[in-house]
Amino acid sequence: MRVYFLRHGIAEERAESDHARRLTAGGVTRMRTTARIMASLGMGIGAVYTSPRVRCQQTADIVASALGVPCITRDELNFGFDVDGLQAVRHDNAHGHPLLVGHEPTFSTVIGELTGADILMKKGGLARVDLTRDDPPTGVLVWLIAPKVFTALS
């Protein structure tokens, strides 16, 4: 199974709470570009799963709309996301390859635990991990796309 990890887009620095931070205008524009390119790639994404934080929900809504797939909020993708959270989302997934929208540093940590890779997910970055074993889950980092690549492709 393929699992895609997308870090939320560029968000405001300050808001009434961290939970309420929204994407900036530039963050929305970049995510629309990313979503358009993702749609053209035919990645087989069946659903977008997102952290409940506003910036992630906005990111997920933009991508899910471009892909024509459902957007599902999952608490497991909030701060504290880990391999157990990944397993919970995977086992609840009935929609094809999942795209997870969440945060740092947990995305890099989970990808590292799955693959042994040492990465850093930039805001708007996208990674593909192909899982090769279920228990414990392990996989291969197939690719990591920096957000500047999406901008260059537009």
d(CA 118, CA 96): 27
Helix (H) or strand (E) holding 50: strand 45-50
The pTM of the full predicted model, rounded to 2 decimals, is: 0.96
Q: Which position has the token pair 């901008």?
A: 151
pLDDT in tens, 94-139: 678 999 999 999 999 999 999 999 999 999 999 999 999 988 899 9
Q: Which residues, in sequence order, are bridge partners of residue 127? A: 5, 144
Q: Which CATH number fits domain 2-153: 3.40.50.1240, 3.40.1010.10, 3.50.50.60, 3.40.30.10?
A: 3.40.50.1240
SS (H, E, C) 95-148: CCEEEEEECCCHHHHHHHHHHCCCCCCCCCCEEEEEEEEECCEEEEEEEEECHH
Domain ranges, ordered by start, for the chain: 2-153
